[in-house]
Amino acid sequence: MSQIFNYKFIIIGNPGVGKTSLIKNFVEGSFLSEYKSTIGTNIYTKTLEFKTDKSEDKEENEIIVKLVLWDIAGQIQWDIMRGAYYQGSHGVCVVGDLSSKRTFQKIEKFWVKDARETCNKSIPVILLANKNDLKAEISEEEVRELANTCQIDRLIFTSAKTSYHVQEAFIALIKMCLNIDHLIFVGSN
C-alpha cells in the first residue's frame, strides 16, 4: 500500500552560504562553482520513494514524498517577503558556511528565531554546516554548541561541491516530518 506525503521545506541562511548549491546538488546532482544571488525565492521539486516494514504483520509499505524546496534569498531587501515565503512550511534547513563564522552568528541571532516565530515553534529545524570541503573559520565544537543553544533538531556537516551528506540531510528532515526513523530510501525522480 502506498502513502503519499507532500512537504514544503524552506532553505534559509545568509547570502553565499550555499543554499542554492545544496538544493541543486540534491535535486539535479549538479554543482555550479559560479555564485549567482537568489532574487526573492527559487522553487524546486523532487519526489522520493521509501519503503518501511510494519512490525505487526511484516507488510512492506511504500511511502512517496513529494518535496517542494523553497530557496529563500538571504539579502536584507527580501526581509519583507520572507514571512509569505515561510507560510505552509513543514521543515526548515538553515545553512551556515563553515568558512565564514559570521554566518553562524546570524543563524543564532536571526535565522532560527525568524523561522520558528513565523512558521511555528515545533517545526523541525536542521542546521547544515556547509562548505565542509573548505578551511573552516569556526570549529566543529562551536557549531555543535550553537546548534544546542538554538535547540536545533539535527546538525549535519555538508558540502554541496563534493556531495558530502547532501542527500542524507534532506532525507533526515523528511524522516523528522514523518516521525519515522526506519525508512529505507528506494530512489527519486
Which residue has cell 573559520?
Answer: 137
Contact 93, 128 (CB under 8 A): yes
Give the pLDDT of residue 35.
62
d(CA 159, CA 119): 27
Give the pLDDT of residue 127.
98
Compute mean pLDDT per 10 residues along the chain, 189 residues long, and list them.
93 94 93 68 93 66 95 70 85 98 96 92 96 97 98 97 97 94 87
Model confidence, pTM: 0.90
Q: What contacts 33, CB < 8 A, 6 or more positions away?
A: 161
CA distances from 52 to 62, 64, 98, 149 (A): 7, 11, 35, 33
d(CA 31, CA 79): 27
DSSP state at residue 78: G
d(CA 53, CA 57): 8
Give the pLDDT of residue 58.
56
Give the pLDDT of residue 38.
66
Give the pLDDT of residue 180.
85
Q: Say how many residues make up the chain.
A: 189
> H helices within 61-123, ranges in order?
79-86, 101-106, 112-118
Give the pLDDT of residue 52.
83
What structural domains does the chain harbor? 2-188 (3.40.50.300)
Give the pLDDT of residue 37.
67
d(CA 56, CA 80): 50
